[in-house]
Amino acid sequence: MSQETLETVFEEWQESEATAEEMIPLLGKLYRQYNIVTSLFGRSLINQSVIRILKDHRFVKKVEGTELDVRDTFPLVKAMTELDLGPAHIDVGKLAVAYKTRGNGDVHAFLKRELAEIIGGHQANGNHNEPKDVVLYGFGRIGRILARILIEKAGGGNLLRLRAVVVRGRGDIAKDLEKRASLLRRDSVHGPFAGSISIDAEARTITANGNVIQVIYANSPDEIDYTAYGIDNALIVDNTGMWRDEEGLSQHLACKGAAKALLTAPGKGDVKNIVYGINHTDISGDDRIVSAASCTTNAIVPVLKAVNDQYGIEHGHVETVHSYTNDQNLIDNYHKGDRRGRSAPLNMVLTETGAAKAVAKALPELSGKLTGNAIRVPTPNVSMAILNLTLHQGTDAEAINDYLRRMAVHSPMQKQIDYVDSPEVVSSDFVGNRHAGIVDAKATIANGRNAVLYVWYDNEFGYSCQVVRILQHMSNVSFLVFPKDRD
C-alpha cells in the first residue's frame, strides 16, 4: 500500500470522526428539546461517544449488507433539527438506507414524506404528561443498574424520574451513603458511572448527573410514607425478591404515594409475568402489581416466539449456562439450595431453572412443550441459553439464521432480539448489551426439523433494559416509530 493511500485512509477516518463530533450535539438537541429518541438499526445514538457512533455505522453492513457512513446519516440528523418534530423514536440508520434508494437527493423533501405525522408537532411548552416518579426498593445489582439507565435517560421523552431508593437502615448515615454512592460510581463489571455523583448526608440524598435521589432507610414497606418526600403516584420497583406473590407485594401499595409495583423476579400465583415486546399489552389499566419475569425468560421468549411463528415448535429443551449470582457462596458453605453452597468462583454448579415453565406465562402456545435446566459457571455476568428444539417445519442453519437476522432488524422485537455473526465473540463482548437476547449465528445447528440455537444475554444490563421498557409502558409512555417497516 502506497504512502498516498495510507494518508487517504487516515484522512477519511479523521473526516468521519469530525462528522460524528458534529452530529453529537444535534442528537442531544433532538432528544432534550424535541423528545426524539434516535437509533441506528436499533442501537441507541443518545449519549454515545464518537467511536461508538462510528462502530455502530460499521455494524449496519453486518446485519443489512449495506455500507453506511456517518456522512450518510449526518445530513438527515441535521435536517431533522430544522423540522420542528414532535416526539418519536427514529431509526436514523434505516432512514439513511431508504434515502439512498428513494431520496432523489432532496433530504428535506424525503424527511417530510417519511416523517409527515410528526412534522411541526413540537410544542415548546411540553406535549407530554408530567414525569412519573420511580422508586427503587432495593439497591443491589439490578437496582443500581436500573438507576444508571434511568439517570442516563433522564430528560427528553423518557418521562420516568428516579426519585428515591429504599434500603435497610444503617448506623452511620454519612458512611452508608458514601458506600452506596461509591457502588453506583464504580462497577467491576459495567465500569465507571458516566457522570458525576455526590452525596448530602444531612438531606440523605445522592445526586447523580443533576438527578437528586432520596435515600429512604426502612426495614419494611409499612415504615414508609413517600408523600413525605414529595413523591406521589409512584411506581415501586421491588429488586429484593423478598415477596413474589400478590399478598406480599401489596405491602408496597399500602404506602402513601405508591401507585403500582413491579417485581424484578418471576412472580407467583396470579401475578402477571411480563416479557416486554411479547405480552406487555396484557398489562391493563387495573393491574397494580406485575412481574418482569426473569433474565433468562426475557432472553429466550422473544427468540422462541420468532421461531414458533415461522416454523412451529413441537417440543424442546432449554439449557442455561448462567453466570454466578449473589445468592451463591464465594467459598463452600451452607446453602438451602442443592449444590449452590459450593464455591461459585471455583465450580460449575448444576442447578434448576424455572425459565422453561415460565415461558408458558408469556407464550401460552408453548405450555408443556419445554423442559429446562441450568449450569452456574464462574463468570460474573453474561449468560447463554441453548435452545434444543424440534420443529414442525424443517429448515437449515442458513435459512433460520437469515430469518432471525431479519427479526432482529425489521420486526417489532428489534429491541429484544439481537444478532451476531462472528467467529470470535465470547461472553465479555456482550457486557452492556441492551437487548434481551443475542442470537449467535455461527453456533446455529439446524438439520430438517431439529434446530439448536445459542442465545447470549447480559443477565444484568439487558434484563434491566427490559424492566425499564415495562416501566415506560406502565406509565403510558409511547412513541410513534419511524421509518415504518415496509417488509
- Residues with a known catalytic role: 295
Q: What 3-state class would DSSP assign to 88?
A: strand
- 65 DSSP 8-state letter: S
Q: Inter-axis angle of helices 50-64 and 92-102, to 10 degrees?
A: 60
| The dihedral sign for the CA sequence 391, 397, 403, 406 | positive
CA 315 to chain centre: 28
Q: Which three cell numbers stand for residue 408?
A: 432482529
Check if the beta carbon of residue 414 is closer than 8 Å to that of residue 278.
no
β-bridge mates for residue 323, sequence order: 377
Cell, residue 339: 449444590
The grid coordinates of residue 439 equal: 442470537
Closest by alpha carbon to 408, among 11, 136, 41, 84? 41
126: which residues sit within 8 A by CB, 6+ positions away? none
What is the residue whose three cell numbers read 414529595? 230
Q: Are 136 and 468 in contact (CB under 8 A)?
A: no
- Grid cell of 161 as nine digits: 424520574
Residue 348's identity, in one-letter code, is M
Task: Please give the Cα distance from 168 to 334 (Å, whole number).
Answer: 24
Closest CA to 417 of 436, 443, 431, 441: 436
Q: Quote the CA–CA distance of 164 and 228 in Å, as a whole number.
A: 12
Cβ atoms of 403 and 306 within 8 Å: the answer is: yes
Distance, CA of 88 to CA of 479 (rounded, Å): 5
Query: Helix, strand, coil shares of the chain as percentages rounded to 5?
Result: 40, 25, 40
Whole-number Å distance between alpha carbons of 457 and 437: 5
* Sole residue written with cell 425489521: 410
Read off φ and ψ for residue 3, nearest 5 degrees.
-60, -35
Residue the block writes with cell 440523605: 204
β-pairing verdict for 370-377 and 313-323: parallel
What does residue 155 show for φ and ψ, rounded to 5 degrees? 90, -175
Pairing of β 383-396 and β 370-377:
unpaired
Beta bridge partners of 374: 320, 351
